[in-house]
Amino acid sequence: MDLSEKQHSSLPSPMAEASFLSRLTYWWLNGLFSKGYDRRLEPHDLYQVLKEDSAETLVADLESEWSKELAAAAFSSRKPSLGKAVAKFALIELVYVGIFGFLNESIRTVQPIFLFYLVSYFSPNPSVTKLEAYFYAVAVTVASTLSVILHQLYFFNGHRAGMHLRIATTGCTLRLGQGVTTGHVVNLVSTDTQSFDRFVTYLHFIWITPVQMVATMYLLWIQLGVSCFVPLALMLLLIIYQSHLGRVFAMLRLKTARLSDERCNRMNEILSGVRVVKISTWELSFSKIINNLRSLEISKIRKAMFLRALNMAVDFASQNIISCVTFGSYVLLGNTLTAAKVFSSIAFLNALQRSVTRHFPPAVQKLNEAKITVKRIQEFLELDELNFEKILQKSNRSGKSGVAVHNVTCNWSQDRINRATLQDISFKIGMGDLCMVVGPVGSGKSSLLMMLLGELCITKGNLQIKGRIGYVPQQAWIFSGSVRQNIVFGQTFEADRYDNVIKACSLKQDMELLPEGDLTLIGEKGVTLSGGQKARVCLARAVYFKADIYLLDDPLSAVDVRVGRKLFDECMDGLLRQYPRVLVTHQLQYLRNATEILYLEKAKEKPLVDTEERPRGSIAWSLYVRYFRAGGNYLLLLLLLVLCVAAQGVFTLSDWWLSQSNSQGQEMFAFKFVQAAMHDPTSGEANVHKTYMIIYGGLVTTTLLLSFLRVLLFFHVAVTSSVKLHNDMFDAVIRAPLYFFDTNPAGRILNRFSSDTAHMDTLIPETFFDFLQLGLLVGAVVIMNVITMPFILVGVVPLILVFCCLRNYYLKTTREIKRLEGTGNPINVPFDRHTQTWFLFIATSRWLAYRLDFLCMIFVFMASFTPLFIAERGAEIDAGLVGLCLTYAVLLTGQFQWCVRQSAEMTSVERIMELCRLESEGDWHGKVSVPASWPQLGLITAESVSFKYHPTLPRVLKNVNFCIRAQEKASLLRLADSSGTIRIDGIDIADLGLHELRSKLSVIPQDPVLFSGTLRKNLDPFDEYSEMDLWRALHEVQLSDMICSLTNGLDGLLTESGSNLSVGQRQLICLARAILKGNKILIMDEATANVDHRTDSLIQETIKRRFSNCTVLTIAHRLKTIMDCDRVMVLDSGRLKEFDEPHLLLQNRWGHFYRLVQQTGSLTSAHLAQAARQAFLRRHQPQASYAVPDSSRSYLSSYIPITGFTDLQLESCV
């Protein structure tokens, strides 16, 4: 895969040339912020990815370590460990980040010492002089400043290291891992590997916390003596409690990830086969499947949220609980508490608690999540390890290109060793050789190419490949973009080479017909192109690639005979003549050109015969309203707001209560009762202080209760909102018109159901709650400081104004970066384009955090010096309140930024809500009811019909009039809007509901679509038919014996897209579906393009036998399949050119149809003409007439279009 496609941006990153000071302050981002403030950012405004951040570098480094680990494991006969390879890959960065983290926590640990001496100055008999007080005020401020710098360096480099881990593991997953479902891959890429982004920032607290604990305990011993062991014991209990929760979280995370895998897998199947889903009216069936999976997933999320609510409540109230028990025990031992001692101890406890209870448990949790992610990725990579060493030779050997296969037996997965996909295969091709692979459906032809690509597990034999491989799949793969982008595919554009490729692949005339030539944008999967055009674009991509070896999986089957002959002569046996080629084909007329013929039957080789294809502006307030309203009514939201304010209010009140002290001795008022009670429990003083202590204990208990209730209610609202928005999004997508899927890549839509939904389920509730909790804390800090020191308001007001300006300035840029990131998930774009946005989001977040923390540092400066200025003027100031204000101010550093972050994270909800507002394609049930037996005749008429795939695209059908429509299924099925009138048995299909219409039509598409699950559910998803009906249909298509041989028969499991069956077998199952439905109209859209001649004949015979009384519309490139049709419609450039019986069309030597038949060659054209003549004679015998009976003519005469057709006949294949 292309990990680092040439970037859209030509702007070099200013970070590469930035000075030390610029990097330290993130000044190099000012230009981007200025641009983002003036206008909306576009992809070309982003900076190029630095070499050390590029996917090419990172993936290569991890692959190198993984290869070394594989070699070491093989040498020592042990199982390889991806964890060891990842650790070696990231070791230097992890050490670098750890140093910043250790220095930051060291400063936070010693800062309370300065706080102690500063607060002591305000006691009645201070031991600190005024000059020393100013020194300690400076020390507190400097410590905060250094902490800000180190904190930002730690998180910036930690997030960057996490990004490197994610990119490297994701790249290896996509490049090396094979053999699992797309949903599993999507979840690994979009959810699992993202755990690395958060993992590194917590990792170092696993070792920093014990070191910090020892240092803090020593300092607390100096302050509190043996009482310092009380908070340690409580924190250890908290660690045990939170570690247990961490393990439970990890188990729930694993279960949730598996359910998310399955849901994403199902969504991928729906998006990939959306046409079949809509044609077959299976929307409700798949909705039920997705809803059931989502319900199971949400049940796990709700359990996790309940545990998280309990954990966050205990964490929030634990500070006051620990303070209450610690100081109570200190006083019980006969000691005296002072304000300085209390608040310096609280600062120590805050630093310790932050590491022990808030950083250490998440570090353990993130480590467990990272281990699970690494385990899942290693399991994924090991699916392919048997092939890795064998395929490794292909890029390490020099000389001429070629392929050598010797006695190879292989399987799709290691657990199917006894059921070989291919068995005892041997062949060899070199420069200029053309090996053609032929055989019946299901014989293993496509699997042979997969083996050469390294996708199968080789259990026996040897495979050697020299050179780069160019591959053309059987089902052409096209992505949303221009035709040129699909061909060049990220390589350097060379005009001459490009023109030669276009000519050799017969695309020149097609490009001239497109409105913008090869720059015309095509929809998802190239829906605006025909099947033949998609196949040729896919072939052109492989040819332009300059490969050494070409593997071609039946590209000729999707084109007509004339184009097929030209493609073979000018491309496969022309431009590619000098290269080794392996061509899978059903076109036996080309076998004479092969140097090797490989005939496969039942997965074995037969003897060889030698011969000669976002939003704008700020997040609207209405978005927040819609988000919360989806989770509950206004009364519930009002209750939530009251609980949040009440919890913070009681928390602050309890701290204020603790700060109250005896005015004579500055002993803490709330604890003095303990000493009094010890001397005289009945004294009045003891009773007074007992009352204060009871109140304090009640406040702490109330804080815990209110905190739990508010978190629980908040998460309930958030998860309920997530459930509703996901369901609304799915309903909107499943009802969307087809042009939405044509113009939006499936990866982009799937990203909304994977990454964005995961953010909405877990990240946004946590981030939003942090924002709410910290916002209330900031408000409490400011109010407390203003009440204590009113003069500080002079400095606070400007800080608030600067904060608001910074917030708006930051959000204008970072929202657009997040939006660009959302359109560039690694699922559907080259990695470096995603890295551009993600790295800038990390850097801009640090830019904001650095500046907001400096605002906090200024606030700390004011909180430190303002009491000194007040004291100098002779005013009295309470030491307890000074300690409380300073403790709160220092606490804000490093947390203030989270008051802004949620605005950027809400872009995930914004993108989901965009899908919720999609236009619906129409009602499933219409105003006109039709009888159950409709249509009885299957007569189709079209009057002045024009059609285009998208409102902005040119028309592909232009004012067409006909009876028995034979070309465009889309407008007939109302898969897109068309002008004009189409009637079936006299009823205008525009008056019918979509399900009423589509359920009456049977369609066999060109690309057969099956879904994971049982074969029974693929045939009969609504359980409408009996077991006998299912077996009868399978017998009709000659699949009953094959199904009987499978384990569990009809209940046997199909893999994603039915990939454990051949394309031909899948097509026969689609035919069995049509037989089961028994509709009067059958549409075959090149249904035999990808099958061999035997299967083609089987399908044609089945249709003649089972659908002789039905209208059959056939679209085919194989002329043999349409020679016995009643009439042939020839369309050119969107207009009807000819419409008559094949034999009569062949009489016109200047006609389009005649020229097409002649281009097959003299011998083949003679056989085709003879077949058309015989069908003509049979059709016009009196006993075989298919004319409309006289009794029906009067019924039909009322809606016969005025098109020149006066003698209507039903069009059926005979």
3-state DSSP of 467-493: CCEEEECCCCCCCCEEHHHHHHCCCCC
What per-residue confidence (pLDDT) applies to 1198? Answer: 40
Question: Are both 392 and 377 inside the same structural domain?
Answer: no
Ranking 673-687, 721-735, 779-793, 1155-1169 by mean pLDDT, the lowest is 673-687
* 3-state secondary structure string across 600-620: EECCEECCCCCCCCCCCCCCC
467 shares a domain with 511: yes
Average pLDDT, stretch 788-797? Answer: 75
CA distances from 307 to 247, 301, 303, 310 (A): 11, 10, 6, 5
Q: Which residue has the tokens 């009811």?
A: 929
pLDDT tens digits, one per residue of 374-419:
877 777 666 544 344 444 344 444 457 788 888 888 877 655 445 6
The more confidently predicted of residues 788 and 212 is 212
Give the residue from 283, 274, 273, 277 showing the smallest Cα distance to 924: 283
Distance, CA of 434 to CA of 432 (rounded, Å) = 7
According to the model, what pLDDT value does residue 1015 have?
A: 85
Tell me, yes or no, whether 393 and 527 share the same domain.
yes
The total number of structural domains in the chain stands at 3
Span 590-600, mean pLDDT? 77
pLDDT at residue 138 in the model: 92
pLDDT tens figures, 1073-1114: 888 888 888 888 777 666 667 777 788 788 878 887 788 887
Position 1157 in a domain: no
pLDDT tens digits, one per residue of 191-206: 556 667 777 888 888 8
In a domain, 1200, yes or no: no
15 belongs to a structural domain: no
Higher pLDDT, 163 or 396: 163
Residue 764 has a CB neighbour count (10 Å cut-off) of 21
Residues 984 and 968 in one domain: yes
List the single range of 206-210, 223-227, 974-978 with lowest mean pLDDT. 974-978
Domain shared by 220 and 245, yes or no: yes
Q: Range with the lowest mean pLDDT among 724-728, 730-734, 818-822?
A: 818-822
Nearest-5° angle of CA 572, CA 577, CA 581? 65
The reported pLDDT for the residue numbered 642 is 92
Question: How many residues appear in the chain?
Answer: 1214
Distance CA 175, CA 178 (A): 8
1001-1004/957-963 β-pairing: unpaired
**Tens-digit pLDDT profile for residues 454-465:** 777 777 778 888
pLDDT of residue 602: 65
Whether 875 is covered by a domain: the verdict is yes
- The whole-number pLDDT of residue 932 equals 73
Residues 342 and 430 grouped into a single domain: no
Task: For residues 487-509, give the mean pLDDT.
Answer: 85
The residue that leads in pLDDT, 638 or 387, is 638
The owner of tokens 């199917």 is: 416
Contact residues for 901 (Cβ-Cβ < 8 A; gap 6+) = 767, 770, 771, 845
Kindly state the average pLDDT of the residues 272-278: 84
Q: What is the mean pLDDT of the chain?
A: 77
pLDDT band, residue 157 (cuts 50/70/90) = very high
List the single range of 10-14, 1016-1020, 1115-1119 with lowest mean pLDDT. Answer: 1115-1119
pLDDT category of residue 721 using cuts at 50, 70 and 90: very high
Highest mean pLDDT among 71-80, 83-92, 988-997: 83-92
Q: What range does the domain containing 1033 cover?
A: 940-1140
**Last-in-domain residue among 1116, 1140, 1164:** 1140
Q: What is the pLDDT of residue 979?
A: 64
Q: Are residues 513 and 653 in the same domain?
A: no
Banded pLDDT at 365 (limits 50, 70, 90): confident
**Nearest 5°: CA angle at 111, between 106 and 113?**
120
The fraction of the chain above a pLDDT of 70, given in percent, is 81
Predicted pLDDT at 103: 94
pLDDT band at 731 (very low <50, low <70, confident <90, very high): very high
What percent of the chain clears pLDDT 90, i.e. is strictly above it?
5
CATH number of the CATH domain containing 528: 3.40.50.300
Residue 1206 lies in a domain: no
**Mean per-residue pLDDT, 417-429:** 74
Higher pLDDT, 760 or 1094: 760
Q: Specify whether 979 is located in the same domain as 876.
A: no
Contacting residues for 547 by C-beta, under 8 A, at least 6 apart: 467, 468, 469, 470, 579
User: Does 18 reside within a domain?
Assistant: no
- pTM confidence score: 0.64
Which contacts (CB < 8 Å, 24+ apart) does range 508-516 have?
510/536, 511/483, 513/1133, 514/483, 515/953, 515/954, 516/482
923 versus 667: the higher-pLDDT residue is 923
HSE at residue 274, side-chain half, CA atoms within 13 A, is 24
Measured distance CA(581)–CA(598) in Å, rounded? 13
> In degrees to the nearest 10, what's the CA dihedral of 579, 582, 583, 584?
-170
Residue-wise pLDDT for 1186-1196, tens only, equals 444 444 433 44
Average pLDDT over residues 286-303: 90
Among the three residues 564, 599, 634, which one is the final residue of a domain in this structure?
599
Residue 370 and residue 430 in one domain? no
Query: Please, which pLDDT band fits residue 978 given cuts at 50, 70 and 90?
Result: low
- The reply to whether 290 and 410 lie within a common domain is no
> Is residue 1167, in this structure, part of any structural domain at all?
no
Give the per-residue pLDDT at 861.
86
> Is residue 247 located within the same domain as residue 346?
yes
pLDDT of residue 387: 43
pLDDT of residue 1194: 38
Check residue 689 and give its pLDDT.
52
Q: How far apart are CA 285 and CA 1017, in angstroms?
A: 10
User: Phi, psi at residue 926, to the nearest 5°?
Assistant: -95, 180
Distances (CA, A) of 320 to 494, 645, 770, 947: 70, 18, 19, 71
Tell me: pLDDT of 709 over 70: yes
HEC sequence for 899-936: HHHHHHHCHHHHHHHHHHCCCCCCCCCCCCCCCCCCCC
pLDDT recorded at residue 1189: 45
Which segment of 3-17, 404-418, 438-452 scores lowest on mean pLDDT? 3-17
Is the pLDDT assigned to residue 1155 strictly greater than 80? yes
Q: What is the DSSP secondary-structure string of 357-415?
A: IIIHHHHHHHHHHHHHHHHHHHHHHHTTHHHHHHHGGGGT--SS-EEEEEEEEEESSGG
Rounded Cα distance between 251 and 259, Å, is 13
Residue pair 729/871 in contact (Cβ under 8 Å)? The answer is no
Q: What is the pLDDT of residue 954?
A: 65
Lowest mean pLDDT among 153-167, 183-197, 790-804, 1133-1147: 183-197
Maximum mean pLDDT: which of 526-535, 578-587, 672-681, 794-803: 578-587
Highest mean pLDDT: which range of 170-179, 517-526, 779-788: 779-788
Q: Which residue has the higher pLDDT, 942 or 633?
A: 633
Of the three residues 1140, 1170, 1195, the one that is the final residue of a domain is: 1140
Q: Is residue 55 part of a domain?
A: yes
By DSSP bridging, strand 434-438 and strand 402-411 are: unpaired
Q: Which pLDDT band, with edges at 50, 70 and 90, does 139 fall under? A: very high
SS3 for 1045-1060 is: HCCCHHHCEECHHHCC
Same-domain check for residues 496 and 537: yes
Lowest average pLDDT, out of 184-193, 253-262, 477-486, 622-631, goes to 184-193
Q: What pLDDT, on the 0 to 100 scale, is given for residue 914?
A: 86
Strands 1081-1085, 1111-1115: pairing is: parallel
Residue 778 belongs to a domain with what CATH number?
1.20.1560.10
